[in-house]
């Protein structure tokens, strides 16, 4: 076989495989999106309706505005919550992420510049986040009820800060490591104090990295399910928990509504993820992959 034929064969093989996986990835997403525009009688149709001929905004409206007939007759209770859930999810995720990234930056700075903790000790400490959170969930609930943190925004914020801190630290550290110490020394010579140097020299230099970290942690906090499930009851509700509530609604499966809510939950993450896709690997790899 000539070289060119072989190359063409490889290109064909690559195209086939990649496109196959593309379909596997894209089809479920397409299905949710299209289901969210389908009228009720098409949710369970057989054969399945792949392309709806009567698209409707009812599902989205019912979920987010809640003014359709369906709301008043059937799902009044569970329908009321999505807006509240959106509000809570946003508040919790934003506050927790801000705190996590700020505290993480402090730790990362100390680790990067002063070796306050040896890299080794820090790595060990942070790898512990790999222990599944469910193992502390039960005592955490009782602890929280003693502290009156159950079913509060603060309670969830604290948990999310703790669970995302490792990622904040490792990601920001990898960015700070890249800034030469000389820049800071220059500022020190010019008479800037420690804090001023950090604030006016170091942080601006790692700004894009901090933004990436922020978004990454935001993704983690936004999609968390287990802790939200056990630490909240009625007052506080986040979007993932709200989505699960449709399962228990009295009229059985309401795929269209679920799909509409799912689209609303996922869309922001996909946008954020695409914005930071170049930085994603840092968050996951704990600084282990060289670039």
Partner 1 sequence: MPRSHGPGAVFKWTLLAPLFALLLFLVPVFLLQLYFSVHSWTIYLGSWWDAEFVWFDVFQEVLSDPRFGWSIVRSLVFAGVSTLGCFAVGFGLALLMYRPFRGHGLYYAFFILPMLTVPIVIAYTFEMLLYQKGPVNGILSAVLGTDVNVIWLADPRIAVLTTVLLEIWNWTPFVFIIMMAGLAALPRDLEEAAQSLGASRWRIFLEVKLPLLRPVIFLALILRFLEAIGEFPKTWALFQGGPGTATETIPVYLFLTTWTYFHVSRGAAMSYVVLLLMVGIVLMAIRMLRREKRILDRLYQAPAARP
Cβ 192 to partner 1, closest distance in Å? 9
Which C-beta is closer to partner 1: that of 16 or that of 208? 16
Query: What is the SS3 assignment for the chain?
Result: CCHHHHHHHHHHHHHHHHHHHHHHHHHHHHHHHHHCCCCHHHCCCCCCCCCCCCCCCHHHHHHHCCCCHHHHHCCHHHHCHHHHHHHHHHHHHHHHHHHHHHHHHHHHHHHHHHCCCCHHHHHHHHHHHHCCHHHHHHHHHHHHHHHCCCCCHHHHHHHHHHHHHHHHHHHHHHHHCCCCHHHHHHHHHCCCCHHHHHHHHHHHHCHHHHHHHHHHHHHHHHHCCHHHHHHCCCCCCCHHHHHHHHHHCCCCCCHHHHHHHHHHHHHHHHHHHHHCCCCHHHHHHCCCCCC
Closest CA to 94 of 219, 189, 208: 219
Cβ 70 to partner 1, closest distance in Å? 18
Cβ 228 to partner 1, closest distance in Å? 10
Cβ 262 to partner 1, closest distance in Å? 4
Which C-beta is closer to partner 1: that of 58 or that of 184? 184
The span from the CA of 145 to the CA of 142, in Å, is: 5
Cβ 80 to partner 1, closest distance in Å? 20
Which C-beta is closer to partner 1: that of 41 or that of 69? 41
Cβ 263 to partner 1, closest distance in Å? 9
């Amino acid at each position: 076989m000539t070289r060119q034929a072989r190359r063409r064969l490889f290109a064909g093989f690559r195209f086939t495989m990649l496109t196959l996986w593309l379909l596997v990835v894209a089809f479920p997403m397409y299905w949710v999106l299209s289901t969210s525009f389908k009228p009720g009688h098409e949710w369970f149709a057989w054969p399945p309706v792949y392309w709806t001929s009567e698209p409707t905004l009812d599902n989205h409206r019912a979920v987010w505005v809640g003014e359709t007939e369906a709301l008043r007759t059937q799902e009044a209770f569970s329908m009321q919550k999505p807006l509240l859930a959106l509000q809570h999810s946003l508040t919790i995720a934003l506050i927790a992420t801000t705190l996590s990234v700020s505290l993480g930056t402090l730790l990362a700075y100390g680790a990067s510049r002063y070796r306050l903790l040896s890299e080794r000790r820090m790595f060990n400490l942070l790898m512990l986040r790999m222990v599944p959170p469910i193992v502390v969930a039960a005592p955490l609930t009782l602890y929280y009820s003693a502290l009156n943190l159950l079913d509060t925004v603060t309670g969830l914020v604290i948990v999310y800060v703790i669970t995302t801190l490792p990622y904040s630290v490792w990601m920001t550290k990898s960015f700070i490591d890249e800034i030469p110490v000389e820049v800071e020394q220059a500022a020190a010579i010019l008479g800037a104090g420690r804090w001023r140097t950090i604030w006016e020299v170091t942080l601006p230099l790692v700004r894009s990295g901090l933004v990436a970290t922020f978004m990454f942690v935001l993704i983690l906090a936004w999609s968390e399910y287990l802790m939200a499930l056990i630490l909240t009851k009625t007052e506080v509700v986040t979007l993932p928990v709200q989505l699960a509530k449709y399962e228990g609604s009295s009229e059985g499966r309401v795929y269209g509504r679920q799909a509409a809510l799912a689209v609303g939950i996922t869309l922001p993450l996909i946008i954020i993820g695409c914005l930071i896709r170049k930085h994603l690997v840092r968050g996951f790899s704990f600084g282990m992959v060289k670039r």
